[in-house]
Amino acid sequence: RRPTYNTTYRNNSYSTANNTYNSANNDLTSMDFNAWLNSNSYRARQVAEYQRYLSARVGAQNVPPLSQLLTTARSWDKCGYEPYQLPPQELWANIVPTLRLYSELKNQGVLPLSTEIRSVYRSPGLNDCAGGAGSSKHMNASAMDIWVPEYEDNLWRLSTMQDGLCQFWQYQGQSYNFGLGLYATGAIHLDTDGYRKWGFNHASSSSSCRY
């Protein structure tokens, strides 16, 4: 009988105690993730190793729920892929600086604690199908797309948060090698693979940052 794995572990494995899911939608996402994880015992062992790897480098409290961190492109189903992807081991180090940046943005109050990750690693085939840029940082696992669900229908709060991100990018972004993409949909792209900013057409001139 294949062993089962759960995303609530102790000590050096999974801990979602600080990321309690309150909504039915998040509960469903968690169940979907567990089904994906438990469908393959080798996969579950590799994911557990990835969690330990990240915890050792950024601290367990700064590792987001794996159901978010392994989320891939939203068009995964249409493209014939699974909803989650574990980056190849040789790319694991690339997300570490981005996780540190993400944690710092939350610690400074630039991002609310309710911020969620909606896309991280994409294999080249999925990235191409999903319409990602040919040089997308998602393919090397250094990028994440995030959003704040409760800001989706609150343009004032969304704009205020984006202004805060722009100010952080201007004054502290260079030290993080911070790439910031802001989109009209409310989606936000973060990476640590080049100090730059852009908007809807991936051009600096289309960025909503006024700095």
What pLDDT, in 10s, does the model give residues 4-21? 334 433 333 333 333 443
For residue 174, what pLDDT band results from cuts at 50, 70 and 90? Answer: very high
- CA atoms of 137 and 133, how far apart (whole Å): 9
What pLDDT, in 10s, does the model give residues 119-160? 999 999 999 888 888 788 999 999 999 999 999 889 999 999
What pLDDT, in 10s, does the model give residues 155-165? 999 999 999 99
Write down the CATH number for the domain with range 71-206.
Answer: 3.30.1380
- Give me the residue spans of the domains in the chain: 1-65, 71-206
Which residue carries 């260079």 as its tokens?
174
* 5 within 8 A of 38, measured Cβ to Cβ: yes
pLDDT of the residue at 5: 37
SS3 123: coil
* 63 within 8 A of 99, measured Cβ to Cβ: yes
For residue 40, what pLDDT band results from cuts at 50, 70 and 90? Answer: confident
What tokens does 198 get? 């852009």
211 or 192, which is more confident? 192
pTM: 0.83
31 or 15, which is more confident? 31
Question: Cα dist. 66→141, 205, 208, 209 in Å?
Answer: 14, 35, 31, 31
H helices within 59-183, ranges in order? 66-69, 96-107, 124-129, 155-176
- CA atoms of 25 and 33, how far apart (whole Å): 12
